[in-house]
């Protein structure tokens, strides 16, 4: 099992965690957000925690509100390498960016770069449940042709803003508002093929026309469909999962089953944030990867 941790990102820090909360810096601003797994004692002082620019208060199982303590803009920008992202405070405690995902972006870019250095043809990437486009932009920046699929119109608009901010507006990105399962089923019929597939599914969700999604019920079905749209010489399939009561071994086993006829290997692990004040690690999610044999 692998652990992927965040290090060396100047625009993000996990400053501290504990008492079921985490203290983070996104660019210029420090945020305090609830995290029920942080049952340990914080390292920093109470005064350090009180210096946060905004604090999230949970009001229901899904939503809440932010108490902004200093002058903050409605949105602001952070940079990771050659990519730029617009952040804002959402009623779901998120900012529009999951910083730990940068390790997946770097890994994927390496795969795309290696293929493009050996083969002159384009590399086609499918990003499902693509949210605000971190993986989409990373692949596009490396020269891949990307199909970005999400069920939220506002998330796609946000991703397109990130594309423009990153100077990637001329890159070949296809923006699709659709249910992931339905879209992949149609791609099978159309004979469209992809060299790499990224999936960031929620535990539960809804498609744009009311379709329901349940990770434990539907992920095996979707991966079986994804297997059918892989190209003759695929590169990878990556699945990330958050707030799910299952181990990364579940993702690896599901990938192994779906891709049993492909020549390659699987791995699994945890996505981890690392405190800048002492190196203590905080697991935020799990992942499974399949990659083709070299």
Which of 46, 62, 87 corresponds to the end of one domain?
87
C-alpha dihedral, 108 to 112 to 117 to 120, nearest 10°: 180
Beginning with the edge strand found earlier in the chain, give each strand of the sheet holding 173-177 in spatial order.
Answer: 2-5, 264-274, 281-292, 236-242, 196-199, 124-128, 145-150, 173-177
Residue 2 maps to a domain: no
Distance CA 59, CA 53 (A): 20
> Which DSSP string corresponds to 111-155?
HHHHHHHH--S--EEEEES-TT-HHHHHHHHTT-EEEEEES-HHH
Stretches where the chain sits below pLDDT 50 are none
Q: What is the pTM of this model?
A: 0.95
Residue 167 half-sphere exposure toward CB, CA atoms < 13 A? 6
**Whether residue 71 sits in one domain with residue 113:** no
Question: Tokens 């499974």 correspond to what residue?
Answer: 288
The pLDDT value given to residue 7 = 63
Domain that holds residue 60: 9-87
Residue 210 maps to a domain: yes
**Whether residue 250 sits in one domain with residue 164:** yes
The pLDDT value given to residue 266 = 96
Q: Residue 15 sits in a domain of what CATH number?
A: 2.60.40.1180
Number of domains in the chain: 2
Angle separating helix axes 215-228 and 180-190, nearest 10 degrees: 20
**Whether residue 134 sits in one domain with residue 75:** no
The pLDDT value given to residue 58 = 86
Residue closest to 291 by CA, chosen among 103, 102, 133, 112: 112
Residue 180 tokens, joined: 């992931």
Distance CA 225, CA 25 (A): 39
Q: Pairing relation of β-strands 54-58 and 29-34?
A: parallel
Residue 4 maps to a domain: no
Query: Exposure pattern of 184-193 as b/e (b: 16+ CB <10 Å)?
Result: bbebeeeeeb
Residue 242 tokens, joined: 């958050």
**Whether residue 200 sits in one domain with residue 243:** yes
């Amino acid at each position: 099992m692998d652990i992927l941790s965040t290090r060396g990102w100047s625009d993000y820090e996990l400053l501290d965690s504990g008492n079921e909360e985490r203290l983070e810096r996104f660019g210029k601003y420090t945020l305090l957000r609830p995290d029920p797994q942080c049952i340990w004692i914080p390292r920093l002082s109470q005064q350090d925690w009180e210096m946060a620019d905004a604090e999230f208060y949970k009001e229901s199982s899904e939503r809440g509100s932010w108490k902004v303590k200093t002058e903050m803009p409605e949105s602001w920008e952070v940079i990771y390498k050659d990519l730029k992202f617009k952040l804002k405070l959402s009623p779901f405690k998120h900012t529009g960016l999951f910083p730990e995902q940068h390790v997946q972006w770097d890994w994927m870019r390496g795969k795309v770069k290696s293929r493009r250095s050996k083969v002159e043809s384009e590399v086609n990437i499918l990003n499902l449940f693509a949210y605000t486009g971190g993986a989409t932009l990373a692949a596009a920046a490396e020269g891949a042709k990307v199909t970005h699929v999400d069920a939220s119109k506002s998330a796609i608009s946000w991703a397109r803003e990130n594309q423009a901010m990153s100077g990637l507006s001329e890159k070949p990105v296809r923006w699709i508002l659709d249910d992931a399962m339905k879209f992949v089923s149609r791609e099978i019929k159309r004979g469209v093929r992809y060299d790499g597939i990224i999936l960031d599914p929620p535990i539960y969700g809804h498609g744009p026309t009311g379709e329901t999604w349940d990770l434990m019920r539907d992920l095996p079905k979707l991966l079986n469909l994804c297997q059918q749209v892989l190209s003759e010489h695929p590169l990878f399939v990556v699945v990330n999962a958050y707030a799910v009561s299952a181990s990364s071994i579940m993702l690896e086993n599901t990938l192994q089953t779906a891709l049993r006829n492909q020549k390659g290997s699987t791995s699994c692990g945890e996505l981890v944030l690392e405190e800048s004040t002492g190196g203590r690690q905080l697991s935020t999610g799990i992942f499974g990867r399949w990659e083709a044999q070299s």
